[in-house]
Chains A and B, each alone.
Chain A
Amino acid sequence: MGELWSPIRLTLELASITTVLLMIVGTPIAWWLAWSSWRGKELVATIIALPLVLPPTVLGFYLLIALGPNGLGGWFGDLAGVRTFAFTFEGLVFGSVIYSLPFAVQPIRNSFEAMGKRPLEVAATLRASPWDRFISVAVPLALPGLLTGAVLGFAHTVGEFGVILMIGGNIPGETKVLSIAIYDFVETLRWREAHILSAGMLAFSFAVILSVSLLARRARNRVPA
């Protein structure tokens, strides 16, 4: 059973940490993309959206170089006392955040844009500071978008395969996540284990898509003032 549990636990850990980081990094990016009047912002949006169309192996290849001893990973690794971030859990987290960023940023940006500047202006005329406006007005009004972003980011990380294969390899307990484990089980003709994990993923994906569409419906039903 350990063989089954280890990849599940690892996957959930990776997806949870990635989702938290996605929210911390993605929300300010989405905010900036929604409100900035700088003309070049769509260029930034395009770069963030690249993982949507790029083959995961291409992204994984560049990430591997970036995380390796000759890239940023080596430089940061020196500080942390390791040679490289490739083939580590930390490396996977970094790669997952990059890979899933567009899935989180897009719905959050959309919900900020749908909310519009008006509620923030109203709050400002009622003495709310910028941070106060964000917490008391923007977050509640954009909540469906924020939740959708989090759910999609989480789900996308769980389903990741190509990128992980490129930068994480297949180290049990460190980088061997669900999708890799399933691949492994099939390769070694262990159909029973492959069945159990695949069925679990199927149910999970179903639940995710259902919850996202329910969230989206709730957002639409909100009556504007």
Chain B
Amino acid sequence: MSDQISIRLEGRLGTFEIDVDFFAPMHGITALFGPSGCGKTTILRSVAGLNRIPGEIRVGGDIWQNERLSLPTHKRPIGYVFQEASLFPHLSVRQNLTYGALRTKAEHAIRFEEVVELLGLAHLIDRWPSHLSGGERQRVSIGRALLSQPRLLLMDEPLSALDRMAKDEILPYFEALHSSLKIPILFVTHDISEVERLADHLVLLKSGRVQMSGRLSDVLAAPDSPLATRSDFAAVLPGRIEGIDPDGIAVVKIGTTEIYLLADSLSPGEPVRVRIAAGDVSIARQRAQDSSILNAVPVRILGIEAIGVSETGLLLGLPDGAGQFRARISRRSTIRLNLQEGEEVIAQIKSVSLLANR
């Protein structure tokens, strides 16, 4: 398929064994997610040609590696953003930015001014890398990668070396990148909140193997999702702003279900991403009359499974299959309410957060 990235790798690197075979779309952000040592960076480096593991790598119809050939790294049209910015210390910010641009043979579809504007680099252009903050360096390294005119952007935990503040500073740029450039991104991370906020497509990895892969909302909602038992599990549902009430509450429509949330600077019609943490959902048989909880939505119980000895995980479906999310409640409550699969109940959601404007 020419509109896909297909990656099949089978072999070992040192003592690490890897055996993966998955697809990613040629658009949007695909997150490679898993604990450290699961092989996500190894996969990314193999796509870049920095590692050699037998297999086949195809990107948008072009073969980068198969049994007979393997393009050297400098002949692969990639942009690679490393965990540490790794700017060239002997070059100025401007020279760092243009290093790849001067060497690429591809058409300069992404312009210098555009990148400087997009990543807010104008005031840094004549500085030296040693005089930048961590977040600024990482922005320059992203700009440098973009200006080499990549067909595929590879990012290896680009946020993990940054502190909370630098992360918050840089995340909006990622979202801007996502919406204004049409370059697919493979994004390695071990931070589930980055996945929820940025990813469109998710590949779950463990011990060098793919556990599950697919669209983010599908993987999060899958009944057998390996993520479901995590205590910080949250579902991500795509919705649309229906309207803003006079008291500042935004109404988000997911299928026919209305979700209310506190959010400013939103306008009706905007597509958004809503995050519902399993720990924030409680279950009631009837709609509570006198409750401060804004969101109480009718759902159907699609699955019940035990988490440890004292908790239960519920998979809940919105009406008309508009989306799924999870609840994590005590086993005692499950028994007391006598909850059964297929039943209709009310899900009370203590807090709903908005992830990103899409």
Contact: A124 with B88, CB < 8 Å? no
Which among A123, A124, A128, A223 is the interface contact of B89 at CB below 8 angstroms? A223
B187 to chain A, nearest CB (A): 16
Flag if B103 contacts A224 (CB, 8 Å): no
State whether the Cβ of A216 lies closer than 8 Å to any Cβ in chain B.
no
Is A122 an interface residue when CB atoms closer than 8 A count as contact? yes
Contact in complex: A126, B90 (CB < 8 Å)? no
Please classify the interface of chain A as helix (H, G, I), strand (E, B), loop, or mixed, using the class held by over half of its residues. helix
A125: B residues at CB distance < 8 A: 48, 50, 73-74, 78-80, 100, 145, 148, 154
Is A218 interfacial (CB 8 A cutoff)?
A: no
In the complex, which residues of chain A have a beta carbon less than 8 angstroms from the beta carbon of B85?
225
In the complex, chain A residues whose CB is within 8 Å of the CB of B154:
125
The docked-state distance in angstroms from the alpha carbon of A132 to that of B145 is: 17
Q: At the interface, yes or no: A192 with Cβ under 8 Å from chain B?
A: no
- Do the beta carbons of B74 and A124 come within 8 Å of each other? yes
Contact (Cβ within 8 A) A141 B89 = yes
Q: Which of B75, B89, B103, B137 contacts A126 (CB 8 A)?
A: B103
Q: Which residues of A contact B82 (CB under 8 A)?
A: 118, 121-122
Question: In the complex, which residues of chain A have a beta carbon less than 8 angstroms from the beta carbon of B78?
Answer: 125
Minimum C-beta distance from A133 to chain B (A):
8
Q: How far is the CA of A128 from the CA of B100 in the complex (A)?
A: 8
| B129 at interface by CB-CB < 8 Å | yes
Per-residue interface assignment for chain A, residues 99 to 137, with 1 indicating a CB less than 8 Å from any chain B CB and 0 otherwise: 000000000000000000011011111111110110011
| Contacting residues of chain B (134-168) with chain A, CB-CB under 8 angstroms | 137, 144-145, 148, 154
The smallest C-beta distance from B16 to any residue of chain A, in angstroms, reads 16
**B229 partner residues in chain A, CB cutoff 8 A:** none
A123 close to B130 (CB less than 8 A): no
Given contacts A118-B82, A125-B48, A127-B148, contact A225 B87 (CB under 8 A): yes
A220: CB under 8 A from chain B? no
- A55 interface contact, C-beta 8 A: no
Q: How far is the CB of A121 from chain B (nearest CB, A)?
A: 6
Q: In the bound complex, what is the Cα–Cα distance between A133 and B85 (angstroms)? A: 18
**Once the chains bind, are B74 and A128 in contact (CB under 8 Å)?**
yes
Q: How far is the CB of B240 from chain A (nearest CB, A)?
A: 38
Q: Which residues of A contact B72 (CB under 8 A)?
A: 124
Indicate whether B23 reaches chain A with its CB closer than 8 angstroms.
no
In the complex, the answer to whether B103 meets A127 with C-beta atoms within 8 Å is: yes
* Alpha-carbon gap, A38 to B235, bound state (A): 49
Any B CB within 8 A of the CB of A200: no
Does the CB pair B48–A132 fall under 8 Å? no
Closest approach, in angstroms, between the C-beta of A221 and any C-beta of chain B? 10
Question: Are B73 and A122 in touch, CB under 8 angstroms?
Answer: no
Does B334 have its Cβ within 8 Å of any Cβ on chain A? no
When chains A and B are docked, how far (Å) is the Cα of A136 from the Cα of B88? 10
Bound-state CA distance A127–B104 (Å) is 6
Which chain A positions have C-beta within 8 A of B103? 126-128, 132
| Residue-wise interface mask of B (305-348) relative to A, using a CB-CB cutoff of 8 A (1 in contact, 0 not) | 00000000000000000000000000000000000000000000
- Given the complex, which residues of A lie within 8 Å of B105, measured CB to CB? 127
State the Cβ distance, B205 to closest chain A Cβ, in Å.
22
Q: Is A172 an interface residue (CB 8 A)?
A: no
Contacts of B79 in A (CB 8 A): 125
Q: How far is the CA of A136 from the CA of B96 in the complex (A)?
A: 12
CB-CB nearest in chain B for A127: B103
Q: Which residues of A are found within 8 Å of B144, using beta-carbon distances?
A: 126
Q: Are B86 and A122 in contact (CB under 8 A)?
A: yes
A148, B73: Cα distance in complex, Å: 32
How far apart are the CA atoms of A124 and B85 in the complex, in Å? 15
Q: How far is the CB of B126 from chain A (nearest CB, A)?
A: 16
**Interface positions of B from 35 to 92, Cβ below 8 Å from A:** 48-50, 72-75, 78-80, 82, 84-90
Please name 17 further chain A to chain B contacts, defined as beta carbons within 8 Å, in addition to the given A121-B80, A140-B90, sorted by A numbering. A118-B86, A121-B82, A122-B88, A124-B49, A124-B72, A125-B78, A125-B79, A125-B100, A125-B145, A127-B105, A128-B99, A129-B74, A133-B74, A222-B89, A223-B89, A225-B88, A225-B129
Q: Can you list 15 residue pairs at the A/B interface with Cβ under 8 Å?
A: A119-B86, A121-B82, A122-B80, A122-B88, A124-B49, A124-B74, A125-B50, A125-B73, A125-B78, A126-B103, A126-B144, A127-B104, A141-B90, A223-B130, A224-B89
**Which A-B residue pairs are the 6 nearest by beta carbons?**
A126-B100, A223-B130, A125-B80, A127-B103, A124-B73, A225-B87
Chain A residues with CB under 8 Å of chain B are 118-119, 121-130, 132-133, 136-137, 140-141, 222-225
